[in-house]
Amino acid sequence: MNYIGSKFKLSGFLKNGIKNAVAKPLGEYTFCDMFAGTCAVARAFQGEVGRIITNDREFYSFVLARHYIGNFAKNWDFSNLPYSMPHSKISQIRANELIENLNNEAKTPNIKGKIYRHYALGGGENRQYFSDKNAIRIDSIRIKIESLKSQRQISQDEYYFLLASLLESADKVANTASVYGAFLKNLKKSAAKDFTLRPADFRRDMGQVDSADSVDSVKLDKFGNSATLKDSAESVESRVNSADSSILKKSCGESNAEFVESRVNSANKYGESTESKIEFHTESRAESKAESHAKSAESKAKSHADSPPTNTIYEICENCEIYNENANDLIKRISGDILYLDPPYNAREYGANYHILNTIALYDDFTPRGKTGLREYEKSAFCKKNLVADALDYLIKNADFDYIFLSYNDEGLLGLGEIEEIFKKYGKYERMEQIYQRFKADSSRFCKQDSTTEYLHILQK
């Protein structure tokens, strides 16, 4: 998926920096990706750390995390699933069946829904994020997925697999210059192709992988080094846009027969009546620190159920926790070993740049605003020059983690000195850097520089 600030092509640099900075093997740690986005960094660590926590206040990110992280099976028993997708809890046969039925117009007939009405020319609102035909197929499949879920014909795991697949596939035919802040006047070549739903694959060369025109290849610095260690003198969003305060809490890994819609009783924005259920899966073996964090997560989840924060969606899975909140609201309620931070660098708001993905994921009723059809979204303190330093300081101060890593580039609102000053207040600080080619939404756009420097700020509290 094309994504501003994606760390997919920097994941090697980040992973090596983090592995070299911590004292123990990754398997003994709980790792938290607080601004997960497309989950590129979390996916780089899954299967190697003891437990993963992801968070992002954009709902499309929650959907991607619920599939790529929640459906990931490191030690899944594949004995009865010889054709299973690699590391997936969903069999290949079942995945193919679901995808084929959704692509079949006889089984998933065309419906002109929200995407067609608001974001295709045929809808009459003069927007062209998708061709008419593709918008109709996106609507039809999205409506069918919700119908399958409400009729309990798919499990919770399968529901998020299908939603993630739809988001990834829709992005491939979007008529934009990589982001959804605006649409192109004429259909570009990829947007004119017929939409096909393709499975969101767990292999890192498919599915979530950014295309060649999104974030360009990592380059070595002028000294020929892949990273430079710089020692200092001392050395080294609740984001569901709804009018109510309902909470969505669901357990991972249910089979079709055992699938239970697990929500707090309330009429949510879809008008659904829901019920509460949460399950936890633990194994009886010597307790590691990661397992201790898992038990702590269960306790906190139960606490959430007793006194729930408003407008919050989260899931507690066997080896992961997945949240959809404002990071500075969540930070006091979670704990772990490694906290990775990749907040917005500048004034570009992800809620605006990826509003179409939120609309497909939520598929709720709202009134699109302006020429581009924006939905209402919560603005981030990390996108405001006068608020970002305090927001970062609050996050670091309240983080119950041993190691904190901040990924931030040289075009961000905060300067190196400002970040260093904040980090040094709370422990031992060091920094690494990597030069790479900057993101360009389109090849014709003028940029002041062709490359940028990514900094990995490291704090041991």
Q: What is the pLDDT of residue 314?
A: 86
* Distance, CA of 402 to CA of 339 (rounded, Å): 8
Average pLDDT, integer, range 135-152: 98
Encoding tokens for residue 248? 């969505």
Average pLDDT, integer, range 253-272: 32
Give the contacts of 318 (CB within 8 A, at least 6 positions apart).
Answer: 252, 253, 280, 281
Q: How confident is the model at residue 338 (pLDDT cuts 50, 70, 90)?
A: very high
Higher pLDDT, 457 or 277: 457
Q: Which of 78, 79, 72 is nearest to 46 (CA)?
A: 72
Q: Is the pLDDT of residue 373 over 70?
A: yes
Encoding tokens for residue 3? 């994504």
* Distance, CA of 180 to CA of 372 (rounded, Å): 8
Higher pLDDT, 282 or 164: 164
* Distance, CA of 423 to CA of 176 (rounded, Å): 38
Helix (H, G, I), strand (E, B) or coil at 206: coil
Average pLDDT, integer, range 392-413: 97
Q: What is the pLDDT of residue 183?
A: 97
Q: What is the pLDDT of residue 440?
A: 56
- For 331, which DSSP code? G
Q: What is the pLDDT of residue 270?
A: 29
Between 66-75, 144-153, 432-441, the lowest mean confidence (pLDDT) is in 432-441
Interval 165-190: pLDDT, tens: 999 999 999 999 989 999 999 999 99
Interval 429-438: pLDDT, tens: 999 999 987 6
Q: How many CB atoms lie within 10 A of CB 22?
A: 18
Q: Is residue 97 within 8 Å of 342, Cβ to Cβ?
A: no
Which residue has tokens 């404002």?
326
Percent of the residues in the chain that have a pLDDT greater than 90, as a whole number: 62
Interval 3-25: pLDDT, tens: 887 887 888 999 999 999 999 99
* Distance, CA of 276 to CA of 33 (rounded, Å): 27
3-state helix, strand, coil in the chain (%, to 5): 35, 15, 50
Q: Which burial class, exposed, middle or buried, applies to 341 when counting CB atoms under 10 A from its CB (0-12, 13-18, 19+)? A: buried
Q: How many CB atoms lie within 10 A of CB 432?
A: 22
Q: Is residue 65 within 8 Å of 321, Cβ to Cβ?
A: no
Q: Which burial class, exposed, middle or buried, applies to 65 when counting CB atoms under 10 A from its CB (0-12, 13-18, 19+)? A: buried
Mean pLDDT of the chain: 79
Q: Is residue 75 within 8 Å of 372, Cβ to Cβ?
A: no
DSSP β-ladder status, 451-460 and 403-409:
antiparallel
Helix intervals (H) in 276-402 = 289-306, 327-330, 350-353, 355-362, 388-397
Q: Is residue 201 within 8 Å of 84, Cβ to Cβ?
A: no
Between 181-185, 267-271, 315-319, 436-440, the lowest mean confidence (pLDDT) is in 267-271
Q: Is the pLDDT of residue 130 over 60?
A: yes
* Distance, CA of 435 to CA of 414 (rounded, Å): 18
Average pLDDT, integer, range 386-404: 98
Higher pLDDT, 186 or 226: 186
Between 43-47, 78-82, 200-204, the lowest mean confidence (pLDDT) is in 78-82
Give the contacts of 425 (CB within 8 A, at least 6 positions apart).
Answer: 393, 396, 397
* Distance, CA of 176 to CA of 174 (rounded, Å): 6
Q: How confident is the model at residue 310 (pLDDT cuts 50, 70, 90)?
A: low
Q: Is the pLDDT of residue 267 over 50?
A: no
Which residues, listed in sequence order, are joined to residue 251 by a DSSP beta bridge?
316
Q: How many CB atoms lie within 10 A of CB 120?
A: 25
* Distance, CA of 358 to CA of 379 (rounded, Å): 15
Q: Is the pLDDT of residue 209 over 90?
A: no
Give the contacts of 409 (CB within 8 A, at least 6 positions apart).
Answer: 345, 452, 453, 454, 455
Q: How confident is the model at residue 239 (pLDDT cuts 50, 70, 90)?
A: very low
Q: Where are the domains of the chain?
A: 8-460
